[in-house]
Chains A and B, each alone.
Chain A
Amino acid sequence: MQRQFEQIPSALQKRWRINEAVLQSILVLCGLFSIFTTVLIVFELGKESMLFFRSEDVSLIEFFTGTRWQPQIAEFGILPLVNATLMTTIIAVLIALPLGMGVAIYLSEYASERARKIIKPALELLAGIPTVVYGYFALTFMTPFLRSIFGQGVVEIYNTASAGIVMGILILPLISSMSEDALNAVPRSLREAAYGLGATRLETALQVVVPAALSGIAAAVIVGLSRAIGETMIVAIAAGAGPNFTLNPFKAAETMTGHIVRISGGDLSYASIDYNSIFAIGLLLFFLTLSLNLINQRIVRRFREVYE
């Protein structure tokens, strides 16, 4: 055998080709660029946040426990911003989770194949609409609607309820589409076994199919959560300008993302503490969504039920 290899003419042997090597290194660089982006994000956010926390007006403890965010009088407590973010996010999930599950179960367990092929892309259209359009919708439709139901005196023009509900509409297709994929991936044999045992369609759906697809559904909800936390334009337009520590969803309150947009909208001086503060808020936002993403990946990997 060894002999035969030696007899291969040199022209046919594998050669080191310069252009192959150059192209491969270019491709490696393309691949590494994404790592570079992440490093850049962490570095820039970290650097400016350091400057922010080193400033004498700010202390870490005050940052995480203070209930007032008023840069003019050097009050930097992030709780009002976090509170507003949580409120809009929770309202959004309260809207999107039940509705999204309903849509997903209907599409995967009840709807005919033809109806599914029409309804699913139509709902995904909702996900393709730019968020600024949702912001417009929240301000010019949802807010007047809420005001006409609960009264002009109760609901302020800018409020977290309206922003949260519209945000729920935004993440609804995301949750329903991903959950439907998860439900659809549950093998037919499980359903047939349940039917064979005399279960009704509902019992099969709720007690067999949904538990089997739970990891996929959880992943969908987490993706929706992380999307809602980072969502900016809806809250920037409809939730109000000015931090406000309140639990009343009908009052105006500024979220983390809304604050960043408002502060950076004007001509921002690089030397100001406002400039540094958006990086600190950004860093917190980055870690929040990053941990949600990591949890999501963990869930998908660990709890994925594999059926043969």
Chain B
Amino acid sequence: MRLSQVGHTRPGIPPRQLFAQDKPRDLHRRYQVGYLWQVIFLASTIAGFIALSALLYNIINQSFGYVAIQNEVEPGSLAADGIALVDLPKETLVEVLQQNISAGLFRRLERDQPFNQRSREDVYVLIIERVVKPRIVKTWTLVDSIFHRREILAELAEKQLGARLQFRSWLHPRLLTSPQSSIPLQAGVRTAILGSLWTIAITVLFAFPLGVGAAIYLEEYATDNLINRLIQTNISNLAGVPSIIYGILGLAVFVRTLEPIMSGTFLGLSDPTSANGRTILSAGLTLGLLVLPLIIINSQEAIRAVPQTLRQASYGLGATRWQTVWYHVLPNAIPGILTGSILSISRAFGETAPMVVVGASTFITFDPTTPFSKFTTLPIQIYQWTSRPQAEFRNLAAATIIVLLILLLSLNAWAIFFRNRFSRKFV
């Protein structure tokens, strides 16, 4: 019997010329074709890795490199009594500031916040901003800075005489500690990190109990009837809804309809900085709705993995349903629930689109203090800096991406830790 006829006996495979020819020369050709395709499959896997490496390379390449900086006033000329500007005490710094800016501006700054209440660091930043006024003329990428150093120096010597070349790591401690600023050299992501943490805290408080509750209901209580099947289908559909739809929902429900609650006016907390319900609370709840189906699905899987024998033993001893859930199912499912929830939360951490729609502020310089504050988040900051045309903001965005990725990686590390530390094997 020829091989091709064997196909007829299995209904799943249509009768076609499967492995028809078995002459030795054809066999050789078939192996060659097989080998060729194996190379193609391997190449596509490698292509995936190249994409990943290109992404990382691009970000690192933009985060470090030479910058050419021009100062309006050299900091050296501002030194008093032979002490460099950086080391001057606060009182002297205030004097330096007063001497170098117009009286009107000084009065305005005094009115914003009296100088005796400002910190030394704050005054120093003011001097840099208002007097020294460093301006970035041009920035180079890391690869250019390493391999084309001579060309960069030549270009600089040719064109900008006043500019000073400095190797700059855009990722540095000041990035984390200083607030947002319109001057790229000063700008930091402190407000954005705090905003992200506040938002995620609200998200967790809202979505975690609700999600785990729903998962317990679906796995332990629900019978197989129409409503419960509807809930289950609905959850998997919700998990596939694009995140921007949740943003629109948040805009309509939290920001607009529930504005008095979301901006805290119902508590008499009319925070003058909070704008029309576009607050941390609105954003956190919106993200909560977004991750809820993910948390439910993950928790369900964790609960389902608890062996049935445990429940039967508990019921057999006369425990009620809730006692069984609380003392036996949940303690065994909790590592899985935590792992799944942390992964869902890390998805929320990187969400940008719904935050833009709900109305994250693009430019705020003060820290959020209550859930009713205006806010910005790390991804929003990246988006905002990326959309600016100046190259130096792209560098800032790249450094911020590294911060974001490190935060996400550590979140995921926690998830893996929970899975390995507390997972029990049932034999």
By a beta-carbon cutoff of 8 Å, the part of chain A in contact with chain B is 12, 17, 19-20, 23-24, 26-35, 37-38, 40-41, 44-45, 48, 98-103, 105-107, 109-111, 119, 122-123, 125-126, 128-137, 139-141, 169, 172-173, 176, 197-203, 206-208, 211-212, 223, 226, 229-233, 236-237, 257, 260-261, 264-265, 270, 278-279, 282, 285-286, 289-290, 292-294, 296-297, 305
Name the one of B3, B34, B238, B383 contacting A37, with C-beta atoms under 8 angstroms. B238
A34 proximity list for chain B (CB < 8 A):
214, 231, 234-235, 238, 292-293, 296
Which of chain A's residues has its CB closest to B381's CB? A132
Interface string of B25-65 (1 = CB under 8 A from A): 00000110110011011111101110110110011001000
Which of chain B's residues has its CB closest to A106's CB? B41
Q: Which of B348-407 contact A (CB under 8 A)?
A: 349-353, 356-357, 359, 362, 379, 382-383, 386-387, 394, 397-398, 401, 404-405
B165 proximity list for chain A (CB < 8 A):
none
B12 proximity list for chain A (CB < 8 A):
211-212, 305
Instruction: Give A290 to B242 CA distance when docked, in angstroms.
Output: 10
A119 proximity list for chain B (CB < 8 A):
45
Instruction: Indicate if the CB atoms of A135 and B292 lie closer than 8 Å.
Output: no
Instruction: Give A271 to B210 CA distance when docked, in angstroms.
Output: 34
B139 CB to nearest A CB, Å: 12
Identify the stretch in B92-100, B249-257, B417-425 within 8 Å (CB) of chain A at 4 or more residues. Answer: B249-257
What are 22 sample pairs from A and B whose C-beta atoms fall under 8 A apart?
A: A20-B320, A27-B213, A28-B221, A31-B228, A33-B210, A34-B214, A38-B237, A41-B249, A110-B42, A126-B55, A132-B352, A136-B397, A136-B398, A137-B55, A140-B394, A169-B51, A206-B37, A230-B243, A232-B244, A279-B252, A292-B240, A297-B233
Interface of chain A, helix or strand or loop or mixed? helix
Which of chain B's residues has its CB closest to A39's CB? B234
Most A C-beta atoms less than 10 A away, residue of B40, B62, B234: B234
Instruction: Give A133 to B245 CA distance when docked, in angstroms.
Output: 20
Instruction: Indicate if the CB atoms of A30 and B41 lie closer than 8 Å.
Output: no
Interface string of B252-266 (1 = CB under 8 A from A): 110010000000000
B55 proximity list for chain A (CB < 8 A):
126, 129, 133-134, 137, 141, 169
Instruction: Indicate if the CB atoms of A141 and B58 lie closer than 8 Å.
Output: yes
A75 CB to nearest B CB, Å: 22
Name the one of B34, B252, B387, B412 contacting A200, with C-beta atoms under 8 angstroms. B34
B347 CB to nearest A CB, Å: 8
Instruction: Indicate if the CB atoms of B379 and A130 lie closer than 8 Å.
Output: yes
Instruction: Indicate if the CB atoms of A40 and B42 lie closer than 8 Å.
Output: no
Instruction: Indicate if the CB atoms of A261 and B357 lie closer than 8 Å.
Output: yes
Given contacts A99-B48, A203-B34, A260-B357, contact A132 B13 (CB under 8 A): no
Instruction: Indicate if the CB atoms of B240 and A226 lie closer than 8 Å.
Output: yes
Q: Tell me if B80 counts as interface (CB < 8 A to partner A).
A: no
Instruction: Indicate if the CB atoms of A229 and B242 lie closer than 8 Å.
Output: yes
A45 CB to nearest B CB, Å: 7
A272 CB to nearest B CB, Å: 13
A103 proximity list for chain B (CB < 8 A):
41, 44-45, 48
A33 proximity list for chain B (CB < 8 A):
210, 214, 292
B350 CB to nearest A CB, Å: 3
Q: Which of B187-208 contact A (CB under 8 A)?
A: none
Instruction: Give A296 to B404 CA distance when docked, in angstroms.
Output: 33
Instruction: Indicate if the CB atoms of B41 and A24 lie closer than 8 Å.
Output: no
Instruction: Indicate if the CB atoms of B18 and A257 lie closer than 8 Å.
Output: no
Q: Tell me if B217 counts as interface (CB < 8 A to partner A).
A: yes
Q: Tell me if B84 counts as interface (CB < 8 A to partner A).
A: no
Q: Tell me if B230 counts as interface (CB < 8 A to partner A).
A: yes
Beyond A123-B49, A236-B383, A305-B12, 15 additional contacts (C-beta under 8 Å) are A19-B322, A26-B213, A28-B217, A37-B238, A106-B38, A128-B408, A132-B379, A197-B3, A201-B34, A202-B38, A207-B18, A231-B242, A236-B356, A278-B248, A279-B252
Instruction: Give A263 to B55 CA distance when docked, in angstroms.
Output: 29
Instruction: Indicate if the CB atoms of B252 and A48 lie closer than 8 Å.
Output: yes
Given contacts A31-B214, A110-B42, A293-B236, contact A141 B352 (CB under 8 A): no
A130 proximity list for chain B (CB < 8 A):
349-352, 379, 404, 408
Instruction: Indicate if the CB atoms of B38 and A110 lie closer than 8 Å.
Output: yes
Name the one of B221, B233, B346, B383 contacting A27, with C-beta atoms under 8 angstroms. B221
Instruction: Indicate if the CB atoms of B251 and A264 lie closer than 8 Å.
Output: yes
B349 proximity list for chain A (CB < 8 A):
130
Which of chain A's residues has its CB closest to B383's CB? A132
Given contacts A44-B253, A207-B18, contact A261 B221 (CB under 8 A): no
Given contacts A33-B210, A34-B296, A130-B350, contact A20 B321 (CB under 8 A): yes
B256 proximity list for chain A (CB < 8 A):
270
Instruction: Give A237 to B42 CA distance when docked, in angstroms.
Output: 32
Q: Tell me if B283 counts as interface (CB < 8 A to partner A).
A: no
Instruction: Give A202 to B6 CA distance when docked, in angstroms.
Output: 19
A198 proximity list for chain B (CB < 8 A):
3, 19, 22
A89 CB to nearest B CB, Å: 12
A187 CB to nearest B CB, Å: 12
Which of chain A's residues has its CB closest to B14's CB? A211
A207 proximity list for chain B (CB < 8 A):
13, 18
B203 CB to nearest A CB, Å: 14
B347 proximity list for chain A (CB < 8 A):
128
Q: Tell me if B222 counts as interface (CB < 8 A to partner A).
A: yes
